[in-house]
């Protein structure tokens, strides 16, 4: 098929949209290692998990065998308010780069929350509502998850309490106001609201907080308040399951025009957008039906895949959550305060960790000034103001397209453009003023935080 027949934006018809989520674990030969009870070291049971998470979500979390889950009708109709998301052919970018590569991006920023996080937020809020709960608690780093969850909770009439990493709370006051507009209560973390928050503040006065710390607080509040459960916006298997809608749509759109990608690129914080985007492609790979290069891009300031270790670790700073076997920098790792965007979690999805460990995907890390250069270039050429997180994928896609220019290869590159950057303008400002710096943790710093891994 010639290029001209491929539209700028490939949209699916409503009846072509996925009606089921795809569970990648079902097709993995080596399954991700189970979550462990930090007290006993035994795999977490559904019963134990149900004190923290909603029942249906626990079932999804533990299910390594069911390949497809029906998307409930109410979630499907919510999805229809902002999905399908477009798969965009980056004709302008290709032209500007003078590359023979064909570049596509799946754009998840076309909803008010501004990112892919809404795909899982609505699912998690739906199951909380179905269970008859009063509300949910959560953490948020850069703020996109908290925003998405607030929207979903407002839609379903659930209470929503958000613990927001203090540095983001201060850098992004407008994020907070969006969440409050949707009815959520937002607390900077660490706070004096919780036992774990008090403890962390006593040990590290003046800390700017971390995701791991905000998670501990949100879990504590959920488990000590009747009618509340905790929900998490990334990392967990259930979140990757919901996010598979991204990849299923992308694959259906590509198949519609008979396009076979060579490379699929996504940014990786906790792994949910990447896990969702690659899900059906990884299925082909696992079943030996097709091969693709799959690349995770992470910040050089928080390099879980590229410099972490594959081991059991805590998901939170307070060490109250289950242990997960993943690529990790240690639960005490806190990225330098000059790290601007999200992608600041010390660990990684257990599913993606296993796939990476087994050689099914690659990972690279990039420095934030390079990421912002790519973001600015992309904004000027393609018009979209990208989120800093998404711009990690943009950076590597552009590098690869430039490489194709040298070699003359006509690679087809697909990347995930996870969201927009309207609330990241303080970081853009720093970049424009030449005040942005790159901080790469030293080997010493990493070995110190890795030394605190639990012995399992």
Residue with tokens 């403890």: 199
Question: Could you say whether residue 117 binds ligand PLP (CB under 6 A)?
Answer: yes
Q: Does 122 bind ligand PLP (CB under 6 A)?
A: no
The number of C-alpha atoms within 13 Å of 356 and in the hemisphere containing its C-beta is 27
**CA separation for the pair 118, 122 (Å, rounded):** 6
419 binds ligand PLP (CB under 6 A): yes
Q: Does 85 bind ligand PLP (CB under 6 A)?
A: no
Q: Nearer to ligand PLP by C-beta: 133 or 149?
A: 149
Q: Residues near 106 by Cβ (< 8 Å), separated by ≥ 6?
A: 85, 86, 87, 88, 246, 249, 250, 277, 414, 415, 416, 417
For the bound state, the minimum distance from the C-beta of residue 57 to ligand PLP, rounded and expressed in Å, comes to: 16
Smallest gap from Cβ 109 to ligand PLP, in A, equals 7
**Residues between 168 and 187 that touch ligand PLP (CB under 6 A):** none
Cβ proximity to ligand PLP: between 99 and 168 the closer is 168
Q: Is 270 in the site for ligand PLP (CB under 6 A)?
A: yes
111 binds ligand PLP (CB under 6 A): no
> Among the candidate windows 122-130, 181-189, 263-271, 355-363, which touches ligand PLP by CB under 6 A?
263-271
Indicate which single residue of 197, 212, 342, 441 sits in contact with ligand PLP (rule: CB under 6 A): 342
Q: Which residue is nearest to ligand PLP (CB)?
A: 419
CA dihedral (109, 112, 118, 119) in degrees, to 10, reads -60
Q: Which stretch binds ligand PLP (CB under 6 A): 5-13, 57-65, 272-280, 396-404?
A: 272-280
418: contact with ligand PLP by CB under 6 A: yes
Phi and psi angles of residue 187, each rounded to the nearest 5 degrees, phi first: -125, 130
Nearer to ligand PLP, 6 or 245 (CB): 245
State which residue, 120 or 194, has the beta carbon closest to ligand PLP: 120
Is 380:96 a contact under the CB 8 Å cutoff?
Answer: no
In the complex, the smallest distance separating the C-beta of residue 424 from ligand PLP, rounded to whole angstroms, is: 9
Q: Are 324 and 345 in contact, with CB atoms under 8 Å apart? A: no
> Cβ closer to ligand PLP: 316 or 389?
389
- Which one of the spans 23-31, 210-218, 362-370, 383-391 is the region binding ligand PLP (CB under 6 A)? 383-391
The smaller minimum CB distance to ligand PLP, of residues 259 and 321, is found at 321
> What CA–CA distance (Å, rounded) separates 116 from 104?
17
Q: Which is nearer to ligand PLP, 133 or 241 (CB)?
A: 241
- In the complex with ligand PLP, the residue whose CB is nearer, 387 or 453, is 387
Task: By CB under 6 A, name the one of 18, 135, 146, 271 that touches ligand PLP.
Answer: 271
Q: Is 150 in the site for ligand PLP (CB under 6 A)?
A: no
Q: How far is CA 90 from CA 4, 6, 12, 281, 360, in A?
A: 13, 11, 18, 21, 27
Name the one residue in this structure whose structure tokens are 């806190």.
Answer: 334
Residue 267 is a binding residue for ligand PLP (CB under 6 A): yes
Whether the Cβ atoms of residue 57 and residue 238 lie closer than 8 Å to each other: yes
By the 10 Å C-beta count (0-12 exposed, 13-18 middle, 19+ buried), 72 is classed as middle
What does 73-136 look like in DSSP terms, one character per residue?
HHHHHHHHHH-SPPEEE-HHHHHHHT-SSEEEEEE---STT-BTTHHHHHHHHHHHHHTT-SEE
Closest contact distance (angstroms) between CB of 39 and ligand PLP is 28
Residue 313 in tokens: 């670790």
Where on the chain is the footprint of ligand PLP (CB under 6 A)? 115, 117, 144-145, 234, 267-274, 342-343, 387, 389-390, 418-419
């Amino acid at each position: 098929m010639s290029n001209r027949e491929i539209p700028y934006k490939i949209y699916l018809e409503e009846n072509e949209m996925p009606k089921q989520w795809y569970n990648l674990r079902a097709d993995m030969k080596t399954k991700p290692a189970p979550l462990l009870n930090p007290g006993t070291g035994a795999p977490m049971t559904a019963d134990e998990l149900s004190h923290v998470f909603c029942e249906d979500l626990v079932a999804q979390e533990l299910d390594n065998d069911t390949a497809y889950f029906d998307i409930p009708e109410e979630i499907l109709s919510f999805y229809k308010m902002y999905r399908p998301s477009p798969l965009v052919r980056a004709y302008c970018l290709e032209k500007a780069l003078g590359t023979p590569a064909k570049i596509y991006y799946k754009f998840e920023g076309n909803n008010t929350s501004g990112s892919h996080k809404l795909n899982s937020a609505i699912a998690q809020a739906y199951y909380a509502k179905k269970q008859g709960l009063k509300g949910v608690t959560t953490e948020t780093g850069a703020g996109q998850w908290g925003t998405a969850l607030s929207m979903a909770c407002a839609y379903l009439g659930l209470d929503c309490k958000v613990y927001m990493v203090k540095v983001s709370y201060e850098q992004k006051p407008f994020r907070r106001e969006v969440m409050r507009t949707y009815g959520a209560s937002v607390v900077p973390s660490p706070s004096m609201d919780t036992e774990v928050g008090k403890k962390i503040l006593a040990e590290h006065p003046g800390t700017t907080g971390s995701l791991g710390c905000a998670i501990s607080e949100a879990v504590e509040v959920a488990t000590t308040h009747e009618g509340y459960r905790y929900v998490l916006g990334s990392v967990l298997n259930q979140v990757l399951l919901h996010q598979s809608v991204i990849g299923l749509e992308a694959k259906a759109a590509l198949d519609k025009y008979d396009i076979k990608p060579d490379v699929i690129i996504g940014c990786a914080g906790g792994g949910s957008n990447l896990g969702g985007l690659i899900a059906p492609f990884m299925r082909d790979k696992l079943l030996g039906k097709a091969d693709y290069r799959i690349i995770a891009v992470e910040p050089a300031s928080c390099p879980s895949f590229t410099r972490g270790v594959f081991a059991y670790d805590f998901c939170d700073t307070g060490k109250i959550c289950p242990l997960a076997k993943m690529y990790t920098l240690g639960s005490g790792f806190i990225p330098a305060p000059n790290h601007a965007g999200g992608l600041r979690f010390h660990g990684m999805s257990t599913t993606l960790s296993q796939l990476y460990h087994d050689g099914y995907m690659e990972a690279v890390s990039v420095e934030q000034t390079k990421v912002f250069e790519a973001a600015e270039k992309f904004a000027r050429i393609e018009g979209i103001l990208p989120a800093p997180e998404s711009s990690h994928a943009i950076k590597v896609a552009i590098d690869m397209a430039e490489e194709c220019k040298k070699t003359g290869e006509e690679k087809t590159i697909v990347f995930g453009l996870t969201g927009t950057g309207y609330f990241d303008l303080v970081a853009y400002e720093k970049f424009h003023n030449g005040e942005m710096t790159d901080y790469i943790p030293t080997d010493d710093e990493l070995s110190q935080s890795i030394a605190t891994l639990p012995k399992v």
